[in-house]
Amino acid sequence: MARVDYNNLDLTAPVEARGLRTQFGTNVVHDNLHIRLNAGEILGVVGGSGSGKSVLLNTLLGLKEPDGGVIRVFGKERHSMSDEERRALDTRVGVLFQGGALFSSLSLRENVMVPMREHTDLPLKLMQELADMKINMVGLPMSAASLHPSDLSGGMKKRAGLARALALDPQMLFLDEPTAGLDPIGAHAFDELILELRDALNLTVFLVTHDLDTLFATSDRIAVLVDKHIAIADSPDNVVKYEHPWVREYFGGPRSRAASHGKSN
Amino acid sequence: MSSRATRENEAYTLEVDKGRLIVKAFGRWNLDTVKDIDSALTADLEKLGYGPGEADSEASFEQVVFDFEGLEGIDTAGAYVLTRALGCHDGYCRMWSLVNSKKGQRSLMSVAAEASQEMEAAPKVPWFAPIERLGHGTMRGLSEAYDTIVFFGQFSVVLVKMILQPHRIRWKSVVALIEEVGLDAMPIVVILSFFIGAVIAFMGSDLLEVLGFQVFVVDLVGVSVLREFAVLITAILLAGRSNSAFTAQIGSMKMRQEIDAMTVIGLDTNETLVAPRALACLVSAPILTFAAMMAGILGGLLVCWTQDISPVLFTARLTEVVDVKHFWVGMVKAPVYGLVVAIIGCRQGLAVGGSVESLGSRTTTSVVQAIFTVIFLDALFAMMFLEMGV
């Protein structure tokens, strides 16, 4: 496993972007965008459809090169890192993609084992046991471990994707719409799971979501992506009160009121 | 104290004291380090009589105390390896408690202990597993053959219906597919059979020269290309080129629920997807076969020219000794093979499941099945024509 030298890392800021600019052709998606995650927090990111939430996620993950600005991962600038450093830091980051993005030719257990095989030299049996443990941790029955993704329901796929994201015990978790397409019971259970895992594993979570229930139930801070930048990133109470037409409409709607009401009870 | 049994190394100390096992962990217990710790810990626990898999229904009377005072860091992998001390077995674990832990470590240990308790031993592979697989494979092969025949039957009904009501045929897609299946395949079919014809002429003339019957090479090229090679080359290329494309196209439509959507809207997939492809192959195969025949004979002619058989002599002998029935035997088989290849491709496409893997395996099956069926049918045709004296 590529070693991470923790000494010259700033563990208090797992991810930080300053003056970020992203564009596709002439279409500017982000302009002068600042965002910072603090260690151990759950940051919920909201924004209208097409406001570039997923683009932001991909840029922070390094899947897309930014057109301007700097991204620091644990205090180090991403573009000045060597390939080896980048690989090592990537093992500290887990991602749950929207559809789960499980490898369909592998069983669930093998899916969770993929990152371990790549980055560790553990014996096969221990790897299998650890994979089974992760599967158990995300609340799936052990019998699911040998199933293939096509045999799983949508909710189970999300959980399985989370198990794979947790395979290397990352410090950071990126979640892209984790509760989209889940029924309210499943979504609520997923919220609980995220909170529980955050406490047990001391995770920092970047959560992109449209689900207001999830947002209010889990987020420590909410960042609002509007007008090509993060307009405000603050505690849920302060964000709701923020004076901006879009923000007011977003949080002032009947759905939002019900969700934040549920939270305060 | 003699009643105390201890084991220790730099990562942990184990101590049995008054029926309690005290586990003190030191340093970092994470993915990087657990490999060595795990094997040492397992061995040491066994020596103390606390080995993994030894807990049973009595285990709840035994206590394990984890002491995290010297611990610098632990992750889920480390926590999981620590729970080996609980000796979980068939859902029974020893009781445990935790002292000197930092924030979050208790819930981490609970998660790990819970997972250990749920863990099931991997089922043993029975000795007859290979035989079982063989049996399953055989049954799968048989049901595959059965399903293909059923599909042929269903499609025949559709085909008859469409012939009776020609307005239901989607001419536009039929014509587009003829271009894709027939016209686009023309160059490769022509080039391949040109070479086949040339090779037969080469080999034949070499052999027949020894016997002094070199001119018989014309008969050889004529009969073999017209009767067998042209149509077989065409069918095999259709199987490799179009049949696999059909499976992949229809299969990915199936994966993206397009087929389901069509069914719900009330479109008959046999009519909209299978029939145009079958018709396109039905029309294209004879045309391609004809082109292949011409190219094969041209190849033979050119090679013979280098062997002192002039084109004039070649054509004269061809018309004189090679009966036109050989041409018809070849042409009659072409539409049959075309139809078979198209239908197998479509059926495999419709049989694709939800996974990428099934798309790949269905495409493979489709090509293999199509080529197998074509050659099998060719053998049947040969026997049939022999009996008929054609």
**Range in A12-26, A77-91, B277-291 the model is least confident about:** A77-91
Mean pLDDT of B244-254: 93
Q: Does the beta-carbon distance from B118 to A142 stay under 8 Å?
A: yes
Contact B32 A169 (CB under 8 A): no
Predicted confidence at residue A7, as pLDDT, reads 55
Same domain as B141, residue B101? no
Inter-chain contact A122–B75, Cβ cutoff 8 Å?
no
Mean pLDDT of chain B: 88
- % of chain B surpassing 70 pLDDT: 95
Whether the CB-CB separation of A201 and A122 falls below 8 Å is answered with: no
Do B235 and B338 lie in a common domain?
yes
pLDDT in tens, B340-390: 999 999 999 999 987 778 899 999 999 999 999 999 999 999 999 999 987
Q: Same structural domain for residues B134 and B114? A: no
Question: The domain spanning residue B19 has which CATH number?
Answer: 3.30.750.24
B107 in any annotated domain: yes
Domain co-membership, B65 together with B154: no
Helix (H) or strand (E) holding A20: strand A15-24
pLDDT of residue B54: 64
Q: Which of B95, B118, B141 is the last residue of a domain?
A: B118
The mean pLDDT value of chain A amounts to 84
pLDDT of residue B251: 94
Domain that holds residue B223: 130-388
Residue B62 one-letter amino acid: E
One domain, residues B155 and B260: yes
The tokens 């390094």 sit on which residue? A62
Which chain A residues are closer than 8 Å to B30 by Cβ? 169
**pLDDT per residue as tens digits for the range B300-330:** 999 999 988 899 999 999 999 888 999 999 9
Structure tokens at A235: 């505690």
Rounded to whole angstroms, the Cα distance separating B75 from B77 reads 5
B16 lies in the same domain as B134: no
Q: Which of B115, B353, B355 sits opposite A136 (nearest CB)?
A: B115
Q: Is the pLDDT of residue A264 over 60?
A: no
Q: Which residues of B touch A129 (CB under 8 A)?
A: 80, 119
Among B90, B118, B146, which residue terminates a domain?
A: B118
User: Which residues of chain B make contact with A126, given a CB cutoff of 8 A?
Assistant: 34-35, 38, 81
Q: Are strands B95-99 and B63-67 parallel, antiparallel or unpaired?
A: parallel
pLDDT reading at B104 higher than 80: no
B contact set with A (CB within 8 A):
30-32, 34-35, 38, 75-77, 80-81, 103-104, 107-108, 110-112, 114-116, 118-120, 122, 353-358
Whether B18 and B157 share a structural domain: no
Query: Nearest-CA neighbor of B119 among B137, B92, B96, B143?
Result: B92
Residue B341 lies in a domain: yes
Answer with the residue of higher pLDDT: B181 or B75. B181
Last residue of a domain, one of B91, B118, B145: B118
* Residue B125 placed within a domain: no
Residue B214 falls inside a structural domain? yes
- CB count within 10 Å of CB A34 equals 14
- In A81-215, DSSP assigns E strands to 93-96, 172-176, 204-208
Cβ of A136 and B76 within 8 Å? no
Check the CA dihedral B165-B166-B171-B174 and report its sign.
positive
Evaluated on CA atoms A250, A253, A257, A258, the torsion sign reads: negative
Cβ–Cβ gap B115/A133 under 8 Å: yes
Cβ burial of A182 (10 Å; 0-12, 13-18, 19+) is buried
- Say which residue, B182 or B53, is predicted with more confidence: B182
Q: Please tell me what DSSP assigns to residue B123.
A: P
ipTM exceeds 0.90, yes or no: no
Average pLDDT over residues B147-166: 89
pLDDT at A122 over 80: yes
Question: Based on the domain organization, do B16 and B108 belong to the same domain?
Answer: yes
The token pair at B335 is 């539409």
pLDDT in tens, A180-235: 878 888 888 888 888 888 887 888 999 998 888 888 889 999 998 888 888 888 88
Q: What is the mean pLDDT of residues B230-244?
A: 94
Q: pLDDT by residue (tens digit) across B15-39?
A: 887 778 888 888 888 888 888 888 8
Cβ atoms of residues A116 and A130 within 8 Å: yes
Asked if residue B333 is part of any domain, the answer here is yes
Angstrom distance (rounded) from CA B337 to CA B333? 6
Same domain, B163 and B28: no
Give the C-alpha separation, A121 to A124, whole Å: 9
A56 three-state secondary structure? helix
Question: Within this chain, do residues B44 and B153 fall inside the same structural domain, yes or no?
Answer: no
Helix, strand or coil, per DSSP, at residue A33:
strand
Residue type, B199: V
| Cβ neighbourhood burial of A39 (10 Å; 0-12, 13-18, 19+) | middle
Mutate to test the interface with A, among B76, B117, B358 (most CBs of A within 10 A): B76
For residue B233, tell me if it sits in a domain. yes
Quote the number of domains for chain B: 2
Distance of CA B306 to the CA centre of its chain: 46
Residue B123 lies in a domain: no
Q: What is the pLDDT of residues B129-146, one digit of tens each?
A: 899 999 999 999 899 889
- Partner-chain contact A133 B76, CB within 8 Å: yes
Angle at B203 between CA B201 and CA B208, to 5 degrees: 90
DSSP output for B321-351 = HS-HHHHHHHHHHHHHHHHHHHHHHHHHHHT
Closest-approach residue (CA) in chain A for B34: A122
Whether residue B2 is predicted with pLDDT greater than 50 in this model: the reply is: no
CA-angle at A131, arms to A128 and A134, nearest 5°: 155
Asked, for residue B124, whether it belongs to a domain, the answer is: no
The mean pLDDT of B153-163, rounded to a whole number, is 88
B37, closest residue in chain A (CA to CA): A122
Confidence of residue B4 (pLDDT cuts 50, 70, 90): low
- Indicate whether B92 and B208 sit together in one domain: no
Residues B229 and B287 reside in one and the same domain? yes
Q: A176 pLDDT exceeds 50?
A: yes
Distance between A93 CA and the closest CA of chain B, angstroms: 14
